[in-house]
Amino acid sequence: MPQTLYDKLWNLHEVAQREDGTHLLYIDRHLIHEVTSPQAFEGLKLAGRKPWRISSNIATPDHNVPTTDRKKGIEGISDEVAKLQVVTLDENCKENDILQFDIHDIRQGIVHVVGPEQGLTLPGMTIVCGDSHTSTHGALATLSMGIGTSEVEHVLATQCLKTSKLKNMRVTINGELQKGVTPKDVTLAVIGKIGTAGGTGYAIEYAGTVIENMTIEGRMTVCNMAIEAGARAGLVAYDHTTETYIKNRPFAPVGDQWIMAKNQWENLKSDKEAKFDKELEIDGSLIAPQVTWGTSPEMVIDIDGLIPMPDSESIQHALDYMNLEPGKKIKDIKLDQVFIGSCTNSRIEDLREAARVLEGRKISDSIKRAIVVPGSGLVSKQAIEEGLDQVFIESGFEWRAPGCSMCLAMNPDQLGEGEHCASTSNRNFEGRQGYGGRTHLVSPATAAASAIEGHFVDVREYLA
Amino acid sequence: MKNTTTFHHGTAVPLDRDNIDTDQIIPKQFLKSIKKSGFGPNLFDAWRYEDEGFPGQDISQRKLNKDFILNQDRFDGADILISKKNFGCGSSREHAVWSLMDFGFKVVIAESFADIFYNNCFNNGLLPISLSAEEISVMLNLAEMGKEIEIDLENQIIFSADNEIASFQIDPFRKKCILEGLDEIGLSLTHAADIKAFEEKRAVESPWIFDMRNKNEN
């Protein structure tokens, strides 16, 4: 029977069916960060259990780490509560002999940037992490899902996730993207079409020429936000682009194992006749740069769009929170801050995309703060080698150290009350980037162009 | 007349909104804790208080937002939460479930739930129930009127004043877990031999997955 990519990955990892009808799915890779793991390690200890397979685990602190003054390491974390969490991760990794890229390691960074960058994320794997944006790794033809802390403990103890099979959805995006339209705009446009619950219960496979022509970094941006459409997993088929990306990564197989792996990976695509429970087709050439106006990622419009009229309690509430008038142009929103970073858009390609727009230009005086936070120490190093840090600094951006930073603002990088921010992150929820802060999700290119003007602009005109 | 076993009996709070995300349920500044308890006072923090909350604050000094439904006297002691579509969307933070439970909620009834949140509920003994849009609007009204609501989990029926309001679907095993509080990990470990056998086979077929430690050269 023809199978989808998701079906194939499922079949490769199904261990057993429990008496309750749920399945045990074998987990190849478990990624760990400081926020969702302490209670899991504690639970394990209290029950007198040990991690099942130490070498499947890899940890790095990302949510709480400061993005300034990192020379002092953990001592540089001014918030004592946050510091304890990072220290606890260190202790748990030491106690259990788990490999960690700690705060001093150049490989430290956002866990979803680090995994693929190191070749710890490999096609055909199942990958979980106590973080909903684990869907990112599906860009490399893996089955990757975010899990809760109880599930983190379960995976540590059993090397399996207890789960039920998802349904299959395929989103096919054909055509050619316009200049200035990026993977972020593609993924936001999909969410705009299906809504934040449109993918609930599904794994979404992204396909079509737009995806085929996309880099792995771009595919990661698309899969990263599958969860914002409600889908626990996003997927893209393995192809030559995947192979080229993985080859020579530090943890990627070499020699005979590389050949063996490649042979297996070739099969990681949906069969031609495979049936999907739901299909959606989008003409990529019609996608415009996207901007969210509200407090849910589905509240998104084209850059030349208007703030919508309220037709529900939810929309009215969002308009009130964002302090927006229906019918007004989204371009007229004045910006206070700009954030380029997060597991959605902090990879080298994203920084290049923003730097191309910023080169030789200054950001508007009306912008109170603009920061760029690379996704990992190695992304930062690469960017510095390419001179991108100087482009950002000369234009008026602050160049920071890697971490999740203002995507969820657990560290000191935050919005002030009532401030509007053009952000390349993934969630525009109320208060997400700071108490009373107002987030607008955009691509790195749009964020950069809007920083220059002090309000949203159509980056297509900048690149014309 | 009904003849049933009660799982839970109480009054409900109507939170008449779609897409309540886990950032609203428990804002990020409270995720710095390394414990599972103590999140209740900060449940819906940005909506419940008029000032910005931070960990370790003296809650008694904070001004409550009187307009927020959870702060209205008539809902004191309510321990069932009613909401609409896509409840618990966003972040995987299990702290959202811990904070709802720490506050005192026993049941959340909504039109639909986000996948990760739904699983997190069962892993902690918080009962999530999905109902149709029509049934939710009935439930919101009952909550608004302060009516007692009774949940018969055994028979999967919701009653109010002895009248059946709705029946609901729940996975039979998950029901058992909520009723009996089973050890999920212990149960999975009864398959330890299967896991071991699977792992050995996979290590032969795809060995590169298993020897990553050799490559850790910074």
Q: Do A230 and B185 touch (CB under 8 A)?
A: no
Q: Tell me the mean pLDDT in the region B129-149.
A: 97
Residues 41-70 of chain B whose Cβ lies under 8 A from any Cβ of chain A: 46, 52, 55-56
**Three-state secondary structure call for residue A238:** coil
DSSP string, B179-217: HH---HHHHHHTTHHHHHHHHHHHHHHSGGGT-GGGG--
Are A227 and A365 in the same domain?
no
For residue A137, pLDDT beyond 90: yes
Q: Average pLDDT over chain A, rounded to whole? A: 96
Asked which of A137, A163, A189 is the last residue of a domain, the reply is: A163
Specify if A13 maps to a domain. no
For residue A94, pLDDT beyond 80: yes
pLDDT (tens digit per residue) in B75-95: 999 999 999 999 999 999 999
Which is more confident, A39 or B183?
Answer: A39
Domain annotation for chain B: domains and CATH numbers: 8-182 (3.20.19.10)
Q: What is the ipTM of this complex?
A: 0.93
Residue in A375, A406, A409, A426 with CA at minimum distance from that of residue A229: A426
pLDDT band at B213 (very low <50, low <70, confident <90, very high): low
Specify if A62 maps to a domain. yes
Residues on chain B touching A39 (C-beta within 8 angstroms)? 34-36, 94
Residue in A330, A240, A241, A230 with CA at minimum distance from that of residue A278: A230
Specify if A3 maps to a domain. no
Asked which of A285, A313, A339 is the last residue of a domain, the reply is: A285
Q: What is the pLDDT of residue A83?
A: 94
pLDDT (tens digit per residue) in A422-456: 999 999 999 999 999 999 999 999 999 999 999 99
Q: Tell me the mean pLDDT in the region B22-27.
A: 97
Q: Tell me the mean pLDDT in the region A174-196.
A: 97
Give A163-166 contacts, CB < 8 A, sequence gap 24+: A163/A22, A163/A23, A163/A25, A164/A21, A164/A22, A164/A23, A165/A10, A165/A23, A166/A6, A166/A201, A166/A202, A166/A203, A166/A231, A166/A232, A166/A233
User: How many structural domains are present in chain A?
Assistant: 3
Asked which of A263, A285, A307 is the last residue of a domain, the reply is: A285
Q: What is the pLDDT of residue A312?
A: 86
Q: What is the pLDDT of residue A85?
A: 95
Specify if A259 maps to a domain. yes
Are A130 and A192 in the same domain?
no
Residue in A37, A270, A234 with CA at minimum distance from that of residue A134: A234
B15, B116, B118, B171: best mutation site toward chain A, by most A Cβ within 10 Å? Answer: B116
Specify if A5 maps to a domain. no
CATH number of residue A191's parent domain = 3.40.1060.10
**C-alpha span between B21 and B47 (Å, rounded):** 13
Are A104 and A194 in the same domain?
no
For residue B1, pLDDT beyond 50: no
Q: Please report where in the chains the tokens 């995994």 appear, as a residue.
A: A115
A48-52, A307-311, A430-434, B160-164: which range is least confident on average?
B160-164
Which domain range does residue A157 map to? 18-163
For residue A119, pLDDT beyond 60: yes
Q: Do B32 and A410 touch (CB under 8 A)?
A: yes
Q: Do A125 and B56 touch (CB under 8 A)?
A: no
Q: Tell me the mean pLDDT in the region A70-91.
A: 92
CATH number of residue A426's parent domain = 3.30.499.10
pLDDT (tens digit per residue) in A376-396: 999 999 999 999 999 999 999
Residues on chain B touching A200 (C-beta within 8 angstroms)? 86, 112, 114-115
Are A24 and A158 in the same domain?
yes
CA A142 to chain B, closest CA, distance in angstroms equals: 13
Are A385 and A326 in the same domain?
yes
Nearest-CB residue to B28 (from A26, A230, A409): A409
- Most confident by average pLDDT, A9-23, A60-74, A172-186, B3-17: A172-186
Q: What is the pLDDT of residue B176?
A: 87
pLDDT band at B215 (very low <50, low <70, confident <90, very high): low
pLDDT (tens digit per residue) in B188-211: 999 999 999 999 999 999 999 997
For residue A375, pLDDT beyond 50: yes
Q: Which two tokens stand for residue B97?
A: 């479930």
- CA B48 to each of CA B31, B62, B67, B71, B108: distance values in angstroms, whole numbers, following the listed order: 18, 10, 9, 7, 18
Q: Do B34 and A150 touch (CB under 8 A)?
A: no
Are A59 and A178 in the same domain?
no
For residue B54, pLDDT beyond 50: yes
Are A153 and A172 in the same domain?
no
Are A127 and A208 in the same domain?
no
For residue B217, pLDDT beyond 70: no
Are A453 and A315 in the same domain?
yes
Q: Do A55 and B198 touch (CB under 8 A)?
A: no
Q: What is the pLDDT of residue B214?
A: 57
Contacting residues for B64 by C-beta, under 8 A, at least 6 apart: B48, B49, B50, B71
For residue A79, pLDDT beyond 60: yes
Are A138 and A178 in the same domain?
no
pLDDT (tens digit per residue) in A195-223: 999 999 999 999 999 999 999 999 999 99
Are A184 and A241 in the same domain?
yes
Are A227 and A362 in the same domain?
no
Q: What is the pLDDT of residue B183?
A: 87
Specify if A233 maps to a domain. yes
pLDDT band at A20 (very low <50, low <70, confident <90, very high): confident
Specify if A1 maps to a domain. no
Q: What is the pLDDT of residue A464?
A: 67
Q: What is the pLDDT of residue A359?
A: 96
Q: Do B92 and A122 touch (CB under 8 A)?
A: no
Residues on chain B touching A261 (C-beta within 8 angstroms)? 206, 208
